[in-house]
Chains A and B, each alone.
Chain A
Amino acid sequence: MTDAAWIDAALTSARPQAVGALLRYFRNLDTAEEAFQNACLRALKSWPQNGPPRDPAAWLIMVGRNAAIDEVRRNRKQEPLPEDELISDLGDAEDALAERLDGSHYRDDILRLLFICCHPGLPATQQIALALRIVSGLTVKQIARAFLVSEAAMEQRITRAKARVADASVPFETPGAVERTERLAAVAAMIYLIFNEGYSASGDTADIRAPLCEEAIRLARLLLRLFQGEPEIMGLTALLLLQHARAAARFDAGGAVILLDDQDRSRWNQKMIAEGLALIDKAMRHRRSGPYQVQAAIAALHARAERPEDTDWTQIELLYGALEIMQPSPVVTLNRAVAVSKVRGAGAALDMIEPLAPRLSNYFHFFGVRGAFLMQLGRNDEAREAFDRAIALANTSAEAAHIRMHLDRLMRDSRPCGSGISKK
């Protein structure tokens, strides 16, 4: 790998820890970010000549802090900056700092940095944009592209979010156990949001938005390394890996949705699946179940099935049942109904979802699923009606196109046919 690529990778991976620590020193997000930027500029000059430091994050924190302090002094006394040579040899100082940076501190630094982005006053899209900018270090341009908005609009969104966050006071003391658990849950939810932002993309934008999924996985892994014994963080990481493993098989060349049953499973990423399965396996040993673990376990059952007909739908139904108890929601019930249709038939599944109608009357998937059940039962007129509703409620052109395919099938033959709608 070239110097530039190596340095780039090292700066990216050191960023959360370095910005988190600088934020603890300066207690101001803009100062911390600026200090980190300065440190990166110096790294680009110094590392190719002096070789990479043993602990890039410690180096960046040290240099960033000094640079920012220099800046304050310079502004105060108008003194010249010290020569770069004076700070280029950091050997001893770096060792001393690295020692002080042992586990406990930087763990809470990174968690705080992530937690700041989860400010409850921020709408989800701003939380995500802020986390991608501050924690992941994506450029405004990259984020704007992933969100399919103009750079100016994204710049404004991030600036507004930062101002909002600056007003809120996030305590800088080391958090207590309860507070840490709360922060962890908020951060996990935000990482899931980032992932979904990428995962819910339609076929024509999936490539552009895939980096959001990859970034979410990187953040989840980061969190898991900091909190190694948390089964829900194992579950979250497993869930993201298992879902993203299907990315290459989820859309056809024209960008239309390919349902799980119809996907070419040889295009699933086996490396991600292996890691996801290992993590959910590890999480289950704790016997402390949670929504991420259950969802990951469902994804794992799909991943384990070599062919669609090998899928253990009975187990999936049980898991959705468990999820319904943990997080009661009509959408979860709808998903359980899909499993029920596979185990006990479309009639039983239809009975199950009818009571959901009032609460899901504006939900695309409700009518898509309902239509599919009706179609399986040969009630084609009612199916057509449900599919029409689904098209009217479709969020993306790919969703609409998919339903239209069902309608075309209904037009072609009025016999019952065995196509099912299941989770993408």
Chain B
Amino acid sequence: MLYAILCYHDEDTVGSWTREQDAAVIQKLSVVQDKLARQGRLGPVARLLPTTAATTLRKDNPPVVIDGPFAETKEQLLGFYIVDCNNLDEALAVAGDLGAANPGGAYEIRPVGLLNPGSLRT
């Protein structure tokens, strides 16, 4: 069984870490990640850019683009995609196509700052 582990934290707090504090956390995490990777058990790991860089597409008819992260609490996170796009417009177009195939709810589009593809063989 594959498990997704979703990371939550207070962005203000994480954002006010110094470079050294940030690097120290990343260093400690990489020890854990490296072990999993060597065992072939690590899937993609992504560090997202701050929510200030986020855009939300509400899959209404017609779809509505809103600046900022997904903020509703009545919907739950059900999955995610990682797609390679040249810019936000392209990413929104992809989200729009997905939304047309599966209406209702919303997509939050957030640039990925760092991606480790991991070592899973699928």
Contacts and interface: CB of A to CB of B under 8 A. Distances in A.
Contacts of B99: none
B51 A225 contact: yes
B10 interface: yes
B15 A221 contact: yes
Given A1-B21, A10-B13, A221-B15, A278 B53 contact: yes
B49 to A, nearest CB: 5
B89 A279 contact: no
A271 B12 CA distance: 17
Given A278-B111, A281-B87, A281-B88, A13 B12 contact: yes
A224 interface: yes
Given A274-B113, A278-B88, A285-B88, A228 B16 contact: no
A218 B16 contact: yes
A282 B53 contact: yes
Interface in B28-74: 49-53, 55, 65-68
Contacts of A237: 52
Interface residues of A, number: 24
B50 A221 contact: yes
B16 A275 contact: no
A229 interface: yes
B88 A218 contact: no
A12 B87 contact: no
B16 A12 contact: yes
Contacts of B21: 1, 5, 9
Nearest to A16: B12
Contacts of B24: 1
A369 to B, nearest CB: 33
Interface string A285-309: 1000000000000000000000000
B94 interface: no
A285 B49 contact: no
Nearest to B47: A271
Nearest to B110: A278
Nearest to B12: A13
A282 B55 contact: yes
Nearest to B91: A281
A6 to B, nearest CB: 8
Contact of A1 (B12, B25, B89): B25
Given A237-B52, A275-B113, A285-B89, A229 B67 contact: yes
A5 B65 CA distance: 38
Contact of B53 (A9, A10, A275): A275
Interface in B108-122: 111, 113-114
Interface string B1-33: 000000000101101110001001100000000
B15 A218 contact: yes
A14 interface: yes
Contact of B88 (A1, A228, A282): A282
A254 B89 CA distance: 44
A322 to B, nearest CB: 20
Contacts of B17: 9
A327 B63 CA distance: 36
A275 B49 contact: yes
A9 B13 contact: yes
Contacts of B52: 221, 224-225, 228, 234, 237, 279
Contacts of B15: 13, 218, 221
Contacts of B50: 221, 275
B111 A9 contact: no
Interface string A325-344: 00000000000000000000
Nearest to A231: B67
Given A237-B52, A275-B50, A285-B88, A229 B68 contact: yes
A198 to B, nearest CB: 15
Interface in A184-231: 218, 221, 224-225, 228-229
A278 B52 CA distance: 10
A13 B55 contact: no
A279 B53 contact: yes
Contacts of A275: 49-50, 53, 111, 113
A128 B14 CA distance: 25
B16 A271 contact: no
A228 B68 contact: yes
Given A228-B52, A278-B88, 6 more contacts: A5-B21, A9-B13, A9-B16, A13-B10, A14-B12, A278-B111
25 contacts: A1-B24, A1-B25, A9-B21, A10-B10, A10-B13, A13-B12, A13-B16, A221-B50, A224-B52, A228-B67, A229-B66, A229-B68, A234-B67, A271-B114, A274-B113, A275-B50, A275-B111, A278-B49, A278-B53, A279-B52, A282-B55, A282-B67, A282-B88, A285-B88, A285-B89
Interface of B: 10, 12-13, 15-17, 21, 24-25, 49-53, 55, 65-68, 87-89, 111, 113-114
- Shortest 9 CB-CB contacts between residues of A and residues of B: A13-B12, A228-B68, A278-B111, A278-B53, A229-B67, A228-B67, A224-B52, A281-B88, A13-B16
